[in-house]
Amino acid sequence: MQRLARDFLPNDLQPHLAGCKFDGAIAVQARSNLEETKFLVELAHKHDCVKGVVGWADLCADNLDDVLDELCQDQELRGLRHIVQDEPDDQFLLRNDFQDGVRKLADRNLVYDVLIYPRQLDAAVSFVAALPDQPFVLDHLGKPNIKNQDQDAWQLGFDGMAQFEQVSCKVSGMVTEAKWNEWQPSDFRHYLDSALEAFGPDRLMFGSDWPVCLLAANDYQDVYQLVADWAKALSDSEQQKLFGDNAARIYGITN
């Protein structure tokens, strides 16, 4: 983890974005506090390459309406996420108070990012079924165990999430679920092919998971190239959707 033990800021990211011909990126929370959410929004104000923010708020809080009203004064906030993968209860997403909180997001045009492990996919399917009006993004393909090629524990739940049209999928976070710095592009083909088959070209979006991806890859370019090489079989318009258009549409990015 020593490689991550420093600040990573927009000026560090900009050269990588330019090298891959990206206009910008969406910053996603890593810490569960409002201070970080506000910090990320401030970065979006100051840096054109930060096109939007997926932040955090306590979705079970009694004062959630007031918190959301304050956060939504900034148009840069495009969604919220809770680190459900760290919750000891695999049924956390089925909590009534949590679902009541998520239910407040759709009216504010906020996406909810689903961050889970495969063991939580069954609960996630029930979760999104209960919230048909809420847009969701499944982060990191649901984090399949690529290192051990444990496809069975992931496939059914992943395909179940794709049945809901309000759920999109972020093609990201794969290298850290594989053998760090020993992976081969072929390790990911089943998962990429499954994502395309399940979600189709209109509900997939590339994500770098930078800087966390540096734990398992040399640099941002490696992660981008992994997906770009696989995506060569897609049409030009489908590649454009994967590498930007879908994210802009789903998160409501207009700048």
pTM: 0.97
Q: What is the pLDDT of residue 1?
A: 85
Cα–Cα distance measured from residue 114 to residue 170, given in angstroms and rounded to the nearest whole number: 10
Determine if residue 95 is left, alpha or beta; phi over 0 gives left, psi from -120 to 50 gives alpha, anything else beta. Answer: beta
Q: Domains in the chain, ordered, with CATH? A: 8-21+81-251 (3.20.20.140)
**Average pLDDT of 3-26?**
96
Q: What is the pLDDT of residues 97-145, one digit of tens each?
A: 999 999 999 999 999 999 999 999 999 999 999 999 999 999 999 999 9
Whether 209 shows a pLDDT value over 90: the answer reads yes
Sheet holding 25-28, edge to edge: 25-28, 50-55, 77-82, 111-114, 136-138, 167-171, 204-206
Residues 189-202 have pLDDT tens digits of: 999 999 999 999 99
Long-range contacts of 3-7 (CB under 8 A, 24+ apart): 3/214, 3/215, 4/211, 4/212, 4/214, 4/215
Gap between the Cα atoms of 126 and 130, Å rounded = 6
Q: Give me the pLDDT at residue 255, please.
A: 78
Tens-place pLDDT, residues 142-173:
999 999 999 999 999 999 999 999 999 999 99
Residue 54 pairs in a beta bridge with 28, 79
Who's near 165: CB < 8 A, 6+ residues apart? 203
Rounded to 10 deg, the angle between the 220-230 and 10-19 helix axes is 30
